[in-house]
Amino acid sequence: MTQLEKYIDHTLLKPTATIADIKKLCHEAKEHRFKAVCVQGCHLELAKEELGGGSTLLATVLGFPLGGMSTKAKIGEAKDYIEKGADELDMVLNIGWLKSGLDSLVQEEIRQIKQITGDKILKVILETCFLTDDEKKKASHLAVEAGADFIKTSTGFGSGGATFEDVRLIKSVVGDNALIKASGGIKDRPTAVKYIEMGVSRIGTSSGPQLIKTS
């Protein structure tokens, strides 16, 4: 049986998330030994304290959820989050630049963020629901060339989340040069297991406890 807890980024990114909600998220992550928790940047210090130095990694989002802020702003975020103890950064690429054919700007922005993260994990969010298949391929290629550790499908805030077709497409581009995180709309165990069987290394979900309790 697949040990789902090793793949789950237990996630809470709702703007209404309270301090109590974040504490509950971290408690669940420790209880179930999830791979990571993923929270908004303002909750990093609280989450780090609640996790208490255990095995669960601390992730946050960068340029979230639209990806359209300046590179300088994203760099500032990245530096701040690393200082606050983030182990992983999930960064939204600049979708408008990608669609405008500004490939060098997209790639350079990712490269600069990766320079800051160093040995910390950088996941680049494509937001696949807004992209054509050709754009998904190009974005995946640019992210890998810029040094991204993961390609992530979605923010969970767009018009759609992860799909098997998108994961298959991304995998065909990145091969073994980057890992894949499927995120957005994954709410049951069979779906999560199928993604893992397809080669996904992380599952981003707010339904972690339900996924590991269902058969």
The residue annotated as part of the active site, out of 48, 149, 152, 166, is 152
Query: What kind and span of H or E run contains 150?
Result: strand 150-152
Taking alpha carbons only, the member of 153, 154, 147 closest to residue 122 is 147
d(CA 128, CA 167): 10
- Reading the block at residue 109, the tokens are 């922005």
Spatial CA neighbour of 93 closest among 132, 130, 40, 56: 130
- Does the annotation count 181 as an active-site position? yes
For residue 52 the two structure tokens come to 């208490």
152 is catalytic: yes
Give 205's contacts (C-beta < 8 A, 6+ positions apart): 8, 9, 10, 11, 183, 186, 187, 192, 211
Catalytic residue among 90, 123, 149, 166: 90
Sign of CA dihedral 162, 167, 173, 175: positive
SS3 162: coil
Nearest Cα to Cα of residue 183 among 158, 153, 209: 153
Residues 187, 203: contact at Cβ < 8 Å?
Answer: no
Cite the active site residues.
Answer: 90, 152, 181
